[in-house]
Structure 1
Amino acid sequence: MLTASSGTATNHQPRNRAAQDVLRDRLLAELQEKDPGTALTHLQEATTKRPSLAKHCASIARALGRAAVQKYGAAHRAQAYSRPVCDTSFASGVAAAQ
């Protein structure tokens, strides 16, 4: 027999989050603490160490680009941190955030 819980519902993060989601969240936090260049360098290192993450590189780099514009305001300031990681995905994230 099933019984209803009398406790309140809570939002729990899934224990088994996808590696790319964990990486994206870690790099977004790093961007806030340091700078986009550091986060992009670590993105490149992560995709080199774990090639399975390479297919997510572009979407993570775009997210970093959008976050850089939120942090630094003007797109030209955010664009200054661009690195040759995942082609032009960081730049397209910067452009999309304008």
Structure 2
Amino acid sequence: MIEIVRWEPLTKNDIRVLESRLKSYHQLAKVYKNRPKEWSDLYYQNVGTIVNGIMEAYNECTAFEQNIIKLSYWDIQDDKIIAEVLGVKVSHIKARRMKILKLVANAILLI
């Protein structure tokens, strides 16, 4: 189980980077699986850390949170649509998304 150990709050830049990584997860995972020859060992390890961290965080999430990840980052849906589909308020989606981003940040830091 991933524990949230990050002491500082996520900055706008942290959020932007984490969301970018989540959006590109499937592409990163595919490329990571078939390592390009031009990638250095360090770059390959960094991509692996991101891919494995996202996968670990996703697996730790509830089914509700997994749906938020799928709809927000992989299907790129609007918050209003996500809230309607999941039957909650937009503010609830935003709060859960911050929890998810913290889990992802910690999973990436701890791997």
Query: TM-score, normalized by length of structure 1?
Result: 0.31
Q: Give the structure with higher Rg (CA).
A: 1
Higher RCO by CA contacts (8 Å cutoff, separation 6 or greater): 2
Query: TM-score, normalized by length of structure 2?
Result: 0.28
Larger helix proportion of the pair: 2
